[in-house]
């Protein structure tokens, strides 16, 4: 069932179904609950850290002046909150190994 080149919610649910023995709907509910909790935390301004995987970190960016690369005209960039992902050392090592 694995999508080519992309891990999806359905793939995660399928793995939980196979390894934990939950039903398909229970597995999908579990994946949805975890993702919903992560979204809720970030929506409340909390960072999310998953040990051995990485951290989703929120940063507030101030207003600044940008430039249209085509015309060179300066334009104001509004302040905003952005989310970044910082991979854990374990994840970086696994990706580097290719496994």
What pLDDT is recorded for position 3? 52
CATH of the domain at 26: 4.10.520.10
Whether residue 71 is predicted with pLDDT greater than 90 in this model: the reply is yes
Q: Are 20 and 27 in contact (CB under 8 A)?
A: yes
Domain that holds residue 56: 47-99
Span 57-77, mean pLDDT? 95
Q: How many domains does the chain have?
A: 2
The pTM score is 0.77
pLDDT-based confidence at residue 5 (cuts at 50, 70, 90): confident
Condensed to tens digits (0 to 9), the pLDDT of residues 22-37 reads 999 999 999 999 999 9
My answer on whether 88 and 51 are in the same domain is: yes
Closest CA to 57 of 82, 23, 24, 32: 82
Whether residue 99 is predicted with pLDDT greater than 80 in this model: the reply is no
My answer on whether 41 and 56 are in the same domain is: no
**What SS3 class is residue 12?**
helix
Closest CA to 32 of 22, 21, 44: 22
Q: Are 9 and 28 in contact (CB under 8 A)?
A: yes
């Amino acid at each position: 069932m694995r999508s080519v080149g992309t891990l999806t919610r359905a793939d995660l649910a399928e793995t939980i179904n196979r390894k934990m023995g939950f039903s398909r709907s229970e597995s999908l509910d579990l994946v949805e609950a975890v993702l919903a909790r992560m979204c809720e935390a970030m929506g409340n301004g909390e960072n999310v850290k998953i040990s051995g995987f990485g951290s989703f970190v929120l940063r507030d960016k101030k207003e600044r002046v940008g430039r249209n690369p085509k015309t060179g005209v300066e334009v104001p960039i509004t302040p905003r909150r952005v989310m970044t992902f910082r991979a854990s050392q374990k994840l970086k090592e696994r990706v580097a190994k290719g496994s």
